[in-house]
Structure 1
């Protein structure tokens, strides 16, 4: 009886904790099409001001890759009212931090300030949207910055190009085939007018969402938003049309050479559904089952028990149009890449052919609950999630309701989705190898 009471009490406590995590927000549109989301949390004197633009690496013409990532850097150069090179100085001298990042699908800028500098954050983001200075000297400066970033993070980093190696095999038509950072020859060849036209096309209020989260007063914040963003004119409505991919029906195998590594790797990947598709949530759970932690199936089998792998993992890389389900392994000792591949396939075959155990299923559910409780532990994290859920999932309230999707996933559904997407004939295999020595 005592044990039963403890279990019920634990369940109740978890339920109350999850309830307490509910994020309240308000959202609305300005006349110019800018979507606004406000989240008030007065527990700490901090506020995040962020803007997410619906533009990423896939938004490019052939021969002009990498523009969105380039603009992630370029739009810190300066504006008509912010002197060139002073952006970061203004932020830090007012007690704030800021950053930006770009994916294939969106670009995200944000500042975190003491709440008494909310107006400064709004002004700076409105300046970025309305008054950026896009001139040749700034383009030339940031071109060198991007080149150096590519060298450090990708070209000269061990295993830094493994995503490129996968994407160019999974996608033959869709722009996901090209790296988000782009090709340097494309940026070198682009004219100043092309950069200016790109900004005019994509960085407009009707292609963006503004999120203000933290220690705010809602009515006062709304007035400031109207004052700073309301006058910015809308851009043209965007017509998006990306090439589709034919289903993969036969496994392919290729090699990719990286001069920065000594230990080879085997990469295998499957094309999967994009953001918001229920199957993508199931694939996230499969990733957790296979490789989240040392007790996960692949790690325990290949690293601990059989000692065939130095490292092994699986990830469902979600994107807007298509996802990529990737499994990778680094061999230990004389283990061959084919041996690693066989071990990976053995665990995936079990998922296709058998229901996972009740205890493993319960562990997955517990991990989902824990991730949900921890996901909104900071105001800046909440701002990012609200923006992403609105823009890429078309459902801002997923910040509160997404856990119900994971709770509803069954063992039978896990088996069904593994059979749907993770078959041997639906994958690409890449031998990721040390660069051959020139003869």
Structure 2
């Protein structure tokens, strides 16, 4: 991230990052294809056991959306050795915490225990993979849980369907067109056999990465991993031939209505390259420069100075196959969509034609240095980062190397990437409006 002139603080921070923050780890594969990553840190008596499965919403078939997220819930139902409703109780009774989350590209489960319960964490994750109980009672129960989550977080939340609107606008062929939480009618109509088939295909060792991070002894941990995971049969290879999107070459406009809002929002959305690419990292910097904090370009102009917007953001959402760059603005008073668009486009044009100042560039570099340090400041954060870098970018050591990508981005890179991807003929404008009553 930091490449040119450094302030004294910047030099100090760089020294801390390059020395103290290096994450050491080892990795290997079990014979059944499960990838294992071990990060030993004995400073505190805690350990995280985590498994990331390379399965997300993009792996769902038409009219069966929501399966990946549904399994995030379903696989807490129990196993032949963990009674239904006991999973959370076992974790809590042993001083631990646990959670899971799903994206378009992967599903992630983890437990953090006092380090003397490492064996328990490994056993529980092996139980989840080896023989979870998937029956109609569990499906029906979790279906209601997911419905309630969707009502609370999406359907009844102001601006809760913005991501759905963006996906509908930018994706016509690729399964990113569907939301991660899915459509409830798809889950309602799915048969038990379909859930079993989904599990059998994607929840296999050769589609999983196990991370153990924290206070443990490597030799003993390897033996435990072998005991609990090596005997789980390998699954069939997973082959993805997902459809490619045609380039966007003409500006289009769409309207989405939301019954939960009183003020409209306007979005200017662009389909951009995979998070694996360097250009996606540059777009991270572009979004931060434009709208990260009250001193950012768009906030100062539209919110603080001109009082045209109640809120404005520029966001780069990186994903495995494609990414999304989006501007989001809620107008203030009588400000029109055209006025917001004109001002946002003017700031983009400046980026495309003029180098940002050295002072702004220095500030941007320091922001990313801080983000790097914060992301890896806990054992849970390190475990998540190691799994994500391996599964979605193919290189766990990006936990140490990715910061160099950001440090080597230049002001010229920012200008050229803005010029390459953020043009009006490459976007979908979304008028996100209150539903008329």
Q: TM-score, normalization: structure 2?
A: 0.97
Q: Which residue in the other structure is 1:201 paired with?
A: 201
The Cα of 1:192 is off from its aligned counterpart by: 0.5
The Cα of 1:7 is off from its aligned counterpart by: 5.9
Cα distance in 2 for partners of 1:86, 1:364 equals: 47
Cα distance in 2 for partners of 1:9, 1:187 equals: 53
| DSSP-derived class of the 2:169 partner | helix
Cα distance in 2 for partners of 1:10, 1:261 equals: 43
- What's the Cα RMSD here? 1.2
Q: Which residue in the other structure is 1:86 paired with?
A: 86
Q: Which residue in the other structure is 1:398 paired with?
A: 398
| DSSP-derived class of the 2:246 partner | coil
| DSSP-derived class of the 2:312 partner | strand
Q: Which residue in the other structure is 1:50 paired with?
A: 50
The reply on whether 1:305 has 2:305 as its aligned counterpart is yes
Cα distance in 2 for partners of 1:9, 1:194 equals: 56
Cα distance in 1 for partners of 2:364, 2:59 equals: 36
The Cα of 1:47 is off from its aligned counterpart by: 0.4
Q: Which residue in the other structure is 2:98 paired with?
A: 98
Cα distance in 1 for partners of 2:117, 2:44 equals: 14
Show the 5 A alignment for 1:7-406: 11-12=11-12, 14-406=14-406
| DSSP-derived class of the 1:77 partner | coil
| DSSP-derived class of the 1:275 partner | coil
* 1:247-273 Cα distance to aligned partner (Å, 9 max, x none): 000111111100001111001110001
The Cα of 1:13 is off from its aligned counterpart by: 5.8
The Cα of 1:275 is off from its aligned counterpart by: 1.9
Cα distance in 2 for partners of 1:341, 1:90 equals: 53
Q: How many residues align?
A: 432
The Cα of 1:16 is off from its aligned counterpart by: 3.7
Cα distance in 1 for partners of 2:156, 2:375 equals: 33
Cα distance in 1 for partners of 2:302, 2:59 equals: 40
| DSSP-derived class of the 1:78 partner | coil
The Cα of 1:9 is off from its aligned counterpart by: 8.4
* 1:99-158 Cα distance to aligned partner (Å, 9 max, x none): 000000000000010001000000000000001011011101111111111111000000
Change beyond 3 A, Cα 1:185–1:332: same
Cα distance in 1 for partners of 2:13, 2:333 equals: 48
CA contact (8 A) 1:250 1:426 kept: yes
The Cα of 1:12 is off from its aligned counterpart by: 4.8
Change beyond 3 A, Cα 1:7–1:53: closer
CA contact (8 A) 1:58 1:104 kept: yes
Please, which moves more after superposition, 6-15 or 253-262?
6-15
Change beyond 3 A, Cα 1:265–1:130: same
Q: TM-score, normalization: structure 1?
A: 0.97
Change beyond 3 A, Cα 1:36–1:343: same
Structure 1: unaligned runs, 5 residues or longer: 1-5
Cα distance in 1 for partners of 2:353, 2:9 equals: 37
Q: Which residue in the other structure is 2:3 paired with?
A: none
Structure 2: unaligned runs, 5 residues or longer: 1-5
Q: Which residue in the other structure is 2:419 paired with?
A: 419
Change beyond 3 A, Cα 1:366–1:139: same
| DSSP-derived class of the 1:58 partner | helix
CA contact (8 A) 1:46 1:214 kept: yes
Cα distance in 2 for partners of 1:37, 1:304 equals: 47
Cα distance in 2 for partners of 1:228, 1:17 equals: 36
CA contact (8 A) 2:10 2:366 kept: no
Cα distance in 1 for partners of 2:176, 2:314 equals: 20
CA contact (8 A) 1:18 1:373 kept: no
Q: Which residue in the other structure is 1:3 paired with?
A: none
Change beyond 3 A, Cα 1:245–1:373: same
| DSSP-derived class of the 2:313 partner | strand
Please, which moves more after superposition, 331-340 or 26-35?
331-340
Cα distance in 2 for partners of 1:129, 1:339 equals: 53
CA contact (8 A) 2:331 2:340 kept: yes
* 1:194-217 Cα distance to aligned partner (Å, 9 max, x none): 100100000000001000000011
| DSSP-derived class of the 1:315 partner | strand
Change beyond 3 A, Cα 1:303–1:9: closer
| DSSP-derived class of the 1:253 partner | strand
